[in-house]
Amino acid sequence: MGNYTDIEYEFVERTLALIAQYEKIMYDYPFVERYNHTLLINCLTGLVVMPKERTISAIPRERLLSQIKKEMGLKQTWINPEITTLRDFIINLRHAVAHFSIEVISRTDEFLVDEIVFSNPQRSTGFEIARFESGELLPFIRYYGFWLLEKLKARRSR
């Protein structure tokens, strides 16, 4: 693929395409060589860190996270109740990803990824932003990525 004509939009679009491409080939590899959670955490850089720096104005303040959780079907993921807007969530998540304040929790002796915890290193000690159940990080990434594409496209057409 060639150069960017609209880096904000295309970087998000290509990040989502990377996930889709990986899903097509993931099962070609033995289980121990499937790095889907590593890819998802890397993709958060493309969806949360880079766009936040240039497109924070596209993220609304008024939308409540509880509504978004329902729309995405997040049933077990915990988001800190002190964070009530999508904008605040993305800003805090950006700090966690950019400063690699991420913890992976396994509940079994097999050391599988059961939970991914994001904390904000710029806030008080132990300020957890979210605890994603491993199977619910991808739906969040897809939801937010496609939502962001819609907002960026709308902003371009103004």
Identify which of 40, 35, 48 has the alpha carbon closest to the alpha carbon of residue 96: 48
Q: What is residue 96's predicted lDDT score, i.e. its pLDDT?
A: 92
Beta bridge partners of 118: 102, 130
Token pair in block for residue 75: 């049933």
Given the DSSP bridges, would you call strands 115-119 and 78-79 parallel, antiparallel or unpaired? unpaired
Q: In what order do the strands lie in the sheet with 128-133?
A: 78-79, 128-133, 115-119, 102-105
Is residue 44's pLDDT more than 70? yes
Instruction: Name which of 1-5, 89-93, 123-127 the model is least confident about.
Output: 123-127
Q: What is the pLDDT of residues 65-101, one digit of tens each?
A: 777 888 888 889 999 998 888 888 888 998 999 899 9
CA distance linking residue 138 with residue 158, whole number of Å: 31
User: 60: buried, middle or exposed (CB in 10 Å: 19+, 13-18, 0-12)?
Assistant: exposed
The model's pTM: 0.84
